[in-house]
Chains A and B, each alone.
Chain A
Amino acid sequence: MNDELSDRLKKLGVHLGANHLKSPTQPVGLPNLINPKFEFQNRFGHSIAVDQNYDRDYIHGLKAYFNDSLPKKQIILSEKANLLFKDCVFIDTETTGLSQSTGTFAFMVGVGVIKQGRFFLRQYFLRNPGEEQAMLLDLASFIEPYEVLVSYNGIGFDIPILSNRYKLYRLPHPLKQKTHIDLLKYARKLWRFQYNDRSLKSIETNVLKFNRGDEEIPGWMVPDMYREYIKTGNIQPMNGVFYHNAIDIVSLGVLLDVVNEIYSASQDFSLEFNTINFALALSHQKDNNPDEAIRRYKEALNQTNLSTDIRIKTLENIGFLHKNNSAYDKALPYWAEAATLGSEKAMMELAKYFEHHSKDYQKAINYVEELILLMDNKENRIRKKILLPELEHRKQRLYKKILKEKEMKDAQLIYRAPGMLAAQSIQILLESFHIQSQVIQESAGIAYGFTAGGLGSANIYVSKEDEVEAIKVIELMESGALKIEDDISTDQEFDDIEFEDDDPLKSDD
């Protein structure tokens, strides 16, 4: 080290030497665990890999997967036709960091292929970073004959990092032209509602029922372990990394089989995963495949182990799919059922339907009022804040429509109250004289919740026939003969007023 330069830099607060370790000694060898060593040499130097076979008697989790028929098995996950298991390379890398910047490289690349009924695994490993270019070249020729890459989050991580490295060495990118099946994508789709954690390890435990051994090193420790190794030359701790990488890849092979089975719908998985029909349906829905989606949703509805939440979503979504097709008649029963289970979305849809399509305003109002009630009890303040005024607006609009359409065709405005509260008092007063009235509030009052001037005033309408009588009542009220108390419920004072032709006990219907 240039002492003068480093002294000057130290002066400026550059911290040197914190990591200052002796230059690493050459690695002594490979972990004991590892059996056949594959050594190779090419125009960029030499490096090594470790090869292993998983035979048909190998049991991963619950059962043995690798069998004679596996290589010829069809993969239906890709749009590409006629893909077989034997066309796949299962790939996973171990890197020096999580950043996808060009400063990250893979010091271990595990690749697995299925041939002759067994699983062949090769793990490239850089004994020192200088072997990278030689490794990349050999890796490229290993992958070259295969059509498909299978990974877990490879699209987002492993493949870009490897591509970066090919670019930096000015080598052709061998990975870009391949078909890529990223099983993370499928795991997310299928088990989103089943498990909170969709990491490969979680899926492995829950779906494949495989538990890793004590050798396992958690992924987040891996980069530092490699740095430690190249500094010290001590390879032993890397055993765990080899193990971690190997299991990742074997699991990929098994997982592909499971996912493929689920998609091919060859058997019912809903007993094992009660959300899987719903998840599949949703995935079809997103892929714009409504028929298949509806079929899966219906299968979900037939499940006895379906949770209420999922059942509601299922009903809602069937409704939406029919709605998109303008098949409201088909949608209605699903929404209705969802509404009875408390679905806000369904109630809203029903309210819209009855208002705009069947023009059954009363039904629409019923749903809107039910929603308002639901909102009032809601915890979520933001939703409430946004939705409540909207619902109130809708309700008022519906009232107007009812007025316009029905007996209030000849509706007469008899009174303009300064606010909703006052109007409601008058409404109750009128009701006590058996006069039906409608109150319609100016929308500004609903939106802002205050009354000022004409804004927010509430208009009271009665039908033509009741007009004279209603005005009489109101005049009485204004003259002070009828006092409206704050607490309206006391009807005591009204009892003093007598009307000749009215029987207070007579009911409307």
Chain B
Amino acid sequence: MQTKDIINPLINSWKKKENYEELISHYHLNEAFDGAFCDLPTDIHPDLASLIQLMGIHQLYEHQLKTYDLVSQGKNVVINTGTASGKTLAFQLPILNQCFKNSLSTALFIYPTKALAYDQLTNLQDFNQAVKTINKKMDFRIGIYDGDTPKGQRSKIRKTSRILLTNPDMLHYAILPYHTNWETFLMNLRYIVIDEIHIYRGVFGSHVGNVFRRLQRVFELNGVSPQIICTTATIGNPKEFAEKLFERQFSLVDKDGSPHGKKHFILYNPPIINPELGVRKSALQETISVTSDLLDFDIQTLIFQVSRRSVEISLRKLREIYPLNRQNIQAYRSGYLASERRALESDLRNGKIKALFSTNALELGIDIGSLSAVVIAGYPGTIASTQQQMGRSGRHLEPSLAMMIASPMPIDQYLVQNPDFIFRNSPENVLINPNNPLILLHHLRCASHELFFQEGETFGNLSWEEIAPYIEILKDEGNLYYSNNRFMWISDLYPAAEISLRNMGGNPVKLIEILEDQEILIGQIDYSSSLWMVHPGAVYMHLGENYVVTSLDLDQSKAYLNRKMTMHYTEPKRETEIDLKQIIQQKSVNTYQICFGNIDVTSQITAYKERLWDTHEIIKEEPLDLPSVELSTEACWINFSDEMVNKLRESELWNNDPADYGKNWIKTREMILQRDQFTCQLCKRVEDNKSNLHIHHKTPIRMFSSIEEANQPNNLVTLCVKCHQRVEVNVKIRSGLAGVGYIIRSLSPLFLMCDLSDIEIHLDPVSKLNSGQPICMLYDTVPFGIGLSQKLYEIFPQIFQASLNLAKNCECDDGCPACIGPVAENGYGSKKESIAILSLLVGNNE
């Protein structure tokens, strides 16, 4: 099929720009694919066959047929093909076929969100209507069971549904604890479909894995063993992940047979505007300018941005450029109410919206129709998300565009230099840890409420020996009673109500605006985010409006906001303390040690800064009194050895060239010496020989705009030569370490194949964990860890090498956001020091 390529003229217009080569750091074109088709299988029920032909389907894509065959053979299947590749038909076909053959068989469809379930409900109901026209006796009785299902309908749905649509939360909270009400449904259950399993990562996935273990016990009670069919967007380890989530063997279908149009791929790097500081034009500005180009060419575009804030700012800025088209430019992110979101989705589908700024909230398989272009403003944090977001353009056979605009972050810059990471390498593995003790305890509590444990019983792939300590705890807390080899639930608690699958705990905080004495709910965010996003005084943006938080009431889980324009934004200040619990593994590499172990992290938002929008200048810092958050987790860290520190000290890092201290230096120097009574202020040694005493600038001279400012007495202190050297080295290690931390923190998600928020870094040049020597630590942000630190223990050196390469290749003079961090951010330019530390870590002695 030949369609007019609406993307070409745009690209041609860009090519006319003189710095095209510099901007477009990568371009390639994927040719259109006509699709791989097969005939309908011969063994499908004749009624079903005529039905789908009636619906205009005469052939299947290859992967649909393969799914059908595997399911017919009784296999559990995971389908890993692209967006809009007909996954739904792939799993519906074998299931409906079974339902046609056996009028009692039932199937359970699990969707990660209510919205997706409703999407599917409509689809299935249409199908059911069509079925009835063919065979009046056939009725699949499709039911949806979620929090919105009216109480009055629930009993009927339980008793009569043959295809049930629900979500994991509902399974956990309302179905499993009342599983006996579902006896008829369960006893005939043949299939479970779990759509979009890549959503079940991290904590959520660890919970859901346990929900399946509980479900499995109920299946055994009912004497059934349903087959599982699941779908996933591109992830690195679909089969392994499905097997871990459901603890069964799976067959993989991943060869996509569906046709697609040709597609242009672009990686775009904003131009450097200050080579010395390595400053590039901001990705946000570039995004706006690219989007306005797309608008000018009338190309409907979805723009993914990393933060809610940038979505709101872009919306405002683009609307300023196109004041007449305000309604065609919209934003979409979590925190909006469901009704607002539904309206945006439909306006996007019907073409009313020309440009939509969105966070990854739209990433899920929500049907928004076909889009001509996707712009990703800044690496979204994972390769999988990047691929999913890029997959959002080019439905049907039309040509399309997918481009990513690099931010100045090291990871973006690394990707721009190594595009294979995005286009060739496999996306991230999805990690879960259903055996996380806290999660496991919760679910064992729920499980024993649902069905008593008998001594020796297993839980998923956990043996009795592994779960027995937990059962003991449940017994000791008074919920279980042991007698006759059984652990009977005797309390009147309803344990499923105690936990939410979506997080580790804490109530969501409601965002409230008070208008005319009425509390208006404008959105909500989870507890731990609330501490840093809506603390008192925080500037919060919602639907393009600027709000200031007046108070945060954590008892009521409410934050009160006032609509108000401000010249500033706010930045929370977090203080973190680390306690080492246990070293599990350690090894020596080069001259340092890598350790892996358990730590406790206590962190608290202690203050916030107000910064001006345009210059980012700090105008105010206010203390905050908020509760601390505790995290018990796994960590991997580097203990710097004395040898390393000495090497840094000996190397050229200590620069004692005479410097220009200004005209009045001799006078100033004399004044400070007298003020400090010729005594080193560190070791308190009194020196008669004035040349053995140095005057130290607490904040380095280059941080000041004039030497006079730097020479203010409160910035000067008397030190002896030895102490001065020590202080300077510490300063340099501190700033070198900050640079190393910055780059490692940025690049490691790429190597750990995880989300940036899954790990956190802790740096300390004088760590009590390493007897006063520097430490560089990364830890899992999920309580008890999901295995990232453990993996890091193996691959840390690889990350050092990549970091060193990136820092060395960077064109900046003394640090920039794209490598070891901006000069201003660390207070000191520290590129040399960072490279020296990285070289030592890699094992070079340059």
Contact = CB atoms under 8 A, between A and B. Distances in A.
Interface string B779-797: 0000110000000000000
B450 interface: yes
Given A6-B473, A103-B449, A129-B483, A14 B438 contact: yes
A132 B450 CA distance: 16
Contact of A163 (B179, B180, B490): B180
Contact of A19 (B177, B180, B441, B477): B477
Given A5-B437, A12-B783, A167-B183, A102 B177 contact: yes
10 contacts: A18-B477, A21-B478, A97-B491, A99-B494, A101-B178, A103-B449, A103-B491, A128-B483, A133-B484, A164-B180
A373 interface: no
Interface string B463-492: 000000110110011110111111011111
A34 interface: no
Nearest to B223: A170
A230 B495 CA distance: 21
B472 A1 contact: yes
A389 B57 CA distance: 55
Contacts of A237: none
Contacts of B632: 8, 11-12
A133 B180 CA distance: 17
Given A11-B630, A101-B494, A19 B783 contact: no
A434 to B, nearest CB: 54
A24 B488 CA distance: 14
A495 B829 CA distance: 103
B470 A5 contact: yes
Interface of B: 177-180, 183, 221, 437-438, 441, 449-452, 469-470, 472-473, 476-479, 481-486, 488-492, 494-495, 505, 600, 630, 632, 783-784
Contacts of B441: 9, 14
A97 B180 CA distance: 17
Given A20-B477, A103-B491, A168-B452, 20 more contacts: A6-B473, A11-B600, A11-B632, A12-B438, A15-B477, A17-B477, A18-B478, A101-B178, A101-B449, A101-B450, A103-B177, A103-B450, A129-B486, A130-B483, A131-B483, A131-B484, A160-B180, A170-B221, A230-B481, A231-B478
A230 B178 contact: no
A452 to B, nearest CB: 26
A295 interface: no
B783 A2 contact: no
Contact of B449 (A2, A5, A23, A102): A102
Nearest to A44: B484
Contacts of A85: none
A130 B476 CA distance: 17
B472 A2 contact: yes
Given A101-B449, A102-B177, A130 B488 contact: yes
Interface in A128-150: 128-133
A212 interface: no
B484 A98 contact: no
A17 B484 contact: no
B178 A100 contact: yes
Interface in A1-49: 1-2, 5-6, 8-9, 11-21, 23-24, 45
Contacts of B494: 99, 101, 103
Contacts of A227: 478, 490-491
A443 interface: no
Contacts, number: 118
Contacts of A132: 488
Contact of A129 (B179, B451, B488): B488
Contacts of A21: 478
A209 to B, nearest CB: 34
A223 interface: yes
6 cross-chain pairs, A with B, having the tightest CB-CB distances, nearest first: A130-B484, A19-B478, A130-B483, A97-B492, A2-B469, A103-B449
Interface string A90-111: 0000001111111111000000
Contacts of A99: 492, 494
Contacts of B488: 105, 129-130, 132
Contacts of A98: 492
Interface in A218-241: 223, 226-227, 230-231
Contacts of B177: 101-103
A16 B180 contact: no
Given A8-B437, A14-B441, A130-B488, A102 B451 contact: yes
Contacts of B784: 8
A167 B221 contact: yes
Nearest to B468: A2
A16 B469 CA distance: 13
Given A128-B483, A130-B488, A170-B221, A9 B473 contact: yes
Contacts of A102: 177-180, 449-451
Nearest to A45: B484
B490 A5 contact: no
Nearest to B632: A11
A226 B488 CA distance: 14
B490 A129 contact: yes
B416 to A, nearest CB: 41
B476 A20 contact: yes
Contacts of A170: 221
Nearest to A96: B490
Q: Indicate the member of A23, A130, A168, A226 with the most B CB atoms within 10 Å.
A: A130
A165 to B, nearest CB: 9
Contacts of B470: 5
Nearest to A95: B492
Given A16-B476, A128-B483, A167-B180, A223 B492 contact: yes
A381 B613 CA distance: 52
Contact of B630 (A12, A16, A128): A12
A168 B450 CA distance: 9
A225 B495 CA distance: 21
A226 B491 CA distance: 10
A100 B181 CA distance: 10
Contacts of B489: 96, 103, 105
A361 to B, nearest CB: 42
A13 B438 CA distance: 10
A446 B441 CA distance: 64
A115 B54 CA distance: 67
A18 B489 CA distance: 17
Nearest to A161: B180
Nearest to B446: A103
A133 B484 CA distance: 10
Contacts of A105: 488-489
Given A8-B437, A14-B438, A167-B183, A130 B486 contact: yes
B491 to A, nearest CB: 7
B471 to A, nearest CB: 10
B221 A168 contact: yes
Contacts of A100: 178
A490 B495 CA distance: 77
Nearest to A127: B483
Contacts of B179: 102
Contacts of B490: 96, 129, 226-227, 230
A96 B180 contact: no
A20 B784 CA distance: 25
A31 B178 CA distance: 35
Nearest to A231: B478
Nearest to B485: A130
B469 A5 contact: yes
Nearest to A15: B477
A9 B630 CA distance: 12
Nearest to B488: A129
A223 B489 CA distance: 13
Contacts of A231: 478
B433 to A, nearest CB: 14
B181 to A, nearest CB: 8
Contacts of A6: 473
B510 to A, nearest CB: 22
Contacts of B452: 168
